[in-house]
Amino acid sequence: AQRVTQPEKLLSVFKGAPVELKCNYSYSGSPELFWYVQYSRQRLQLLLRHISRESIKGFTADLNKGETSFHLKKPFAQEEDSAMYYCALRGNAGNNRKLIWGLGTSLAVNP
Tell me how many residues contact other proteins (CB under 8 A): 18
Which residues 6+ apart lie within 8 Å of 67 measured at CB? 24
First to last CA, the chain: 41
Residues 33-72, one symbol each (x = binds other proteins by CB under 8 A, - = not), give ----------xxxx--x-x---------------------
What CA–CA distance (Å, rounded) separates 71 from 38?
17
Determine which helix (DSSP H) or strand (DSSP E) holds 83, and give its type and residue range: strand 83-90
- Least Å distance, CB 76 to other proteins, is 27
Q: Which is nearer to other proteins, 33 or 77 (CB)?
A: 33
The answer to the question of residue 99 lying near other proteins (CB under 8 A) is yes
Q: Under the rule (CB under 8 A), what is the footprint of other proteins? A: 32, 43-46, 49, 51, 86, 90, 96-99, 101-104, 106
